[in-house]
Amino acid sequence: MRGGQWQVLRLVQGLSESTLLAPMGSPLFQAAAKAGLHVEPAGLLRAAVLARRYDLVHAHDSRSHTLAALVGGAPLIVSRRVAFGWQAKAPAPQGCGAAKAGQALPPANSPRPNWKYRRPTRYIAVSEFVKSVLAARGVPSEKIDVVYDGVPLLAPAAQLNRIVAPANTHDPRKGAALALEAARIAGVEILLSDNLERDLPGASLFLYITHSEGLGSGVLLAMSAGVPVLASNIGGLPEIISHRENGLLVENEPGAIAAAIRRLRADPALAAALGRAGRQTVIDRFTVERMVSRTMEVYRQALK
């Protein structure tokens, strides 16, 4: 489960009545079924039936966007989490019915037809940065709403002198290799985690290095546990982190990252203060309840 899939799950859990369409056997499908949610295999026929039975459709990646645009029916909302351009191969579908976007808009001069980008009633961007990308690609600003991710408030971390980073080595847009090189220079080891909720309770530092980022829900999860965050100064991350106030932002250069790691390890008081401020930031701005409430506001706008 990646960050966007968790947002889908949390949103559906917060809705009073919905059906989630997701690929059969996918992590999202399995997690939704385990949580007792109404989830069905994604498919053209079922999507067409539900689009005429429900008040609106909310698509969360490129394939579900295309599917929903094809079947028509209820007003369509499309969420977008990423900020990179058109990619030749679409990412695996994450679901249709609540909040994951992995689609990429075609460049302005792309010969690809853009009919499906005119179909949505509204777009939800995960950050102001992503909204600016959508607007630059021709989506009218008045059709775009920003709804930030929401995360559960984790118990404060025990901080067992462990540096945790996401295990995203398969994604070239992320920065696992750069994080590992910086750790080598700093003379520290990092744990590449594929389950942040499991591993953050023992973390003393969360390292989030990436080359492309719409927002960074993993960062929010670490902040919710009071773990100090060191993250790339890129994309939507500055909308979460105020440098030296609730975390540290750093350029994507191994020496600079290593120096920031050393600084936080050498100054426990600073690290603790950043962790406390980060947790308060989540309480104030990035709860699951706030995300669901803001999404419902967009739904009401789409149904006017």
Residues 20 and 138 in one domain: yes
Q: Identify the helix (H) or strand (E) that includes residue 136.
A: helix 128-136
Share of the chain above pLDDT 90, in %: 77
Residue 272 is predicted with a pLDDT of 95
Residues 280 and 298 in one domain: no
Residues 53 and 82 in one domain: yes
The two tokens of residue 150 are 């929401």
Residue 107 is predicted with a pLDDT of 52
Q: Is residue 154 one of the residues assigned to a domain?
A: no
Q: Which residues pair with 156 in a beta bridge?
A: none
Half-sphere exposure of 295 (CA within 13 A, CB side): 33
Residues 34 and 134 in one domain: yes
Residue 35 is predicted with a pLDDT of 96
Q: Is residue 157 one of the residues assigned to a domain?
A: no
Residue 251 is predicted with a pLDDT of 97
Quick check: 82 and 104 in contact, CB under 8 A?
A: yes
Give pLDDT < 50 ranges for the chain: 86-106, 109-113
Residues 132 and 40 in one domain: yes
Quick check: 192 and 213 in contact, CB under 8 A?
A: no
Chain Cα centroid distance, residue 144: 17
Q: Is residue 247 one of the residues assigned to a domain?
A: yes
Region for residue 226 given its phi and psi (left: phi exceeds 0; alpha: psi -120 to 50; beta: otherwise): left
Residues 173 and 292 in one domain: no
Q: Could you report the per-residue pLDDT of 77-100, keeping only the tens digit for each?
A: 999 998 765 332 223 333 444 333
Q: Which of 119, 199, 203, 111 is nearest to 157 (CA)?
A: 203
Domain that holds residue 9: 3-148+287-302
Residues 105 and 128 in one domain: yes
Residues 62 and 127 in one domain: yes
Residues 292 and 242 in one domain: no
Q: What is the pTM of this model?
A: 0.87
CATH of the domain at 126: 3.40.50
Number of domains in the chain: 2
Q: How far apart are alpha carbons 22 and 35 in whole angstroms? A: 14
Q: Is residue 52 one of the residues assigned to a domain?
A: yes
Residues 249 and 294 in one domain: no
